[in-house]
Amino acid sequence: MRGFGIRVLKNGLPVALLLAAIGYGMANMAEMMAGRPEKPTPGHVPEMRSHLQNRLPFTMAAWGFGIVVAFEALFSLWRKPVPPATEVKAVTVEDEAEQLLMKLLEEADAAERARSLAEPMRVG
């Protein structure tokens, strides 16, 4: 669960901040496009700019963060769980090459001892 929360924060916060900035820009563009009429019409809201600048960035950020949470939840169900770390066991069995080498060394030592016992000692 901890990994899910961290992924949501790492992915959701940048998305929310980016969408809030885009929403702020959209609110300013809408106000600029609509302009301020000289004669207020019945459908005109004088505080349109403040309403848009307050609502649009927060709404876009909230929706973006919510979508990131939803997709991270789906991905966490889809991903395979990480197996717990296992301890490395000490290997006590020697590999074949080392066993063969030890056998050859023992045979060579035995042959050397047999040869030294069979030959008389030479004093030089």
Look at residue 99 and tell me if it is in a domain.
Answer: no
> d(Cα 32, Cα 26) in Å, to the nearest integer?
10
Amino acid at 34: A
* Domain count of the fold of the chain: 1
With tokens 């963060």, the residue in question is 65
> d(Cα 104, Cα 123) in Å, to the nearest integer?
31
* Cβ–Cβ under 8 Å, residues 23 and 61: yes
Q: Is the pLDDT of residue 24 over 80?
A: yes
What is the residue range of 19's domain? 2-36+46-78
Region 116-121 average pLDDT:
76
Look at residue 65 and tell me if it is in a domain.
Answer: yes
Look at residue 12 and tell me if it is in a domain.
Answer: yes
Look at residue 113 and tell me if it is in a domain.
Answer: no
User: Around Cβ 18, how many Cβ atoms within 10 Å?
Assistant: 13
Look at residue 54 and tell me if it is in a domain.
Answer: yes
Per-residue model confidence (pLDDT) at position 111: 92
> d(Cα 52, Cα 61) in Å, to the nearest integer?
14
**What is each CA distance from 63 to 4, 12, 86, 98, in whole angstroms?**
19, 10, 41, 64
Look at residue 67 and tell me if it is in a domain.
Answer: yes
Region 26-44 average pLDDT:
73
Look at residue 19 and tell me if it is in a domain.
Answer: yes
pLDDT in tens, 80-109: 777 777 877 665 556 788 888 889 999 999
